[in-house]
Amino acid sequence: MHDSAASRPTAHKNSSAYLKKTLIYFILVLFLLISVMPIVWIVLAALKPANELNANLFAFPKHITFSNFSEAWTVGKMGQYFVNSVIVAVPRVFFILILASLAGFGFGKLKFPGRDFLFFFFLFGMMVPIQAMIIPLYYTMQRLDLINSYWALILPNFGLAMPFAIFMMRSFFKDLPDELMEASKIDGANNFTAYLYIMLPLTMPALTSLLVFEFMWSWNDFLLPLLFVYDDAFRTLPLGMMYFFGEYTSNQSLIAAGVSIAIVPIIVIYIIFQRKFIEGITAGSVKG
């Protein structure tokens, strides 16, 4: 009888834990559905003929068609805008990763006069809103004769993105043990060798997180292309989609196909790097 009475609190505790876990999973699944459903709906809408979509917006497609994607890619010029976005995003992300990792290593592990002042000077760039820099940026690009070029979409982003990138990389380098630098110097390595072969591989989660962030921001950038590009040949996807929507307002299936084309690269990048991305985002909490 004593054993039966003693087992009741344990059974009650297990039941409460089970209910708590069930509630957590229910909430997670609910938020997952809320997040995924718009994307699923857009893709399903792109697979429907226009007349079928107009008849019922939320029904599953009865006749699947891929003609909307091919028409959006060619006639709607989404293919051209897609290539322009790749040309702008790839060098931007590549050079920001290189420069931010070098600066983060310098600010996080090296000691030199004015280090803290220079770091806070870079951080000041995070406090200035981009709207305050638009007019000076425009006149600078105009004087350099870079309006209507890829360079007008690439070069300003180096300065605009660098404060956050340096701040992020510096925090990761600073958390690495100083003993690694001391051991590398004992082995005869200089600062650059220690950065390249010892420190940099340990910051891969941070680099991956920065890659995902920068690619997403570059791919979705709308303001700078709107200001610096007038020629349709240089328009990126966000800007091109604005004109695409205006031209094909009546064909919602075609618009859904264009949106699907635009969001696929971001989803692919996240799927490829999701493991390292999550490691980079949660690294600080794990260390704490």
- Please report, in tens digits, the pLDDT of each residue of the chain (288 residues total): 455 555 556 655 677 778 888 888 999 899 888 888 888 888 888 888 888 877 777 777 788 888 889 998 988 889 999 999 999 999 999 999 999 999 999 999 888 898 889 998 888 888 888 888 888 999 999 999 999 999 999 999 888 889 999 999 998 899 888 888 888 888 888 888 988 888 998 889 889 999 999 999 999 999 899 999 988 899 999 998 888 888 877 788 888 899 999 998 998 998 888 887 777 666 654 444
pLDDT of residue 140: 92
Q: What is the dihedral of CA 15, 17, 20, 26, to 10 degrees?
A: -80
Helices 237-247 and 78-109 pack at an angle, to 10 degrees, of 150
Helix residue ranges per DSSP H, the chain = 2-46, 50-55, 67-74, 78-109, 115-127, 134-143, 151-175, 178-186, 191-194, 200-202, 204-219, 223-228, 237-247, 252-287
pLDDT of residue 283: 63
pLDDT of residue 5: 52
pLDDT of residue 169: 92
Give the phi and the psi of residue 110 in degrees, each rounded to 5: -100, 150
pTM across the whole model? 0.83
Among candidate residues 137, 198, 190, 148, the one with its CA nearest the CA of residue 173: 198
Q: What is the dihedral of CA 87, 165, 169, 208, to 10 degrees?
A: -40
pLDDT of residue 179: 87
pLDDT of residue 10: 64
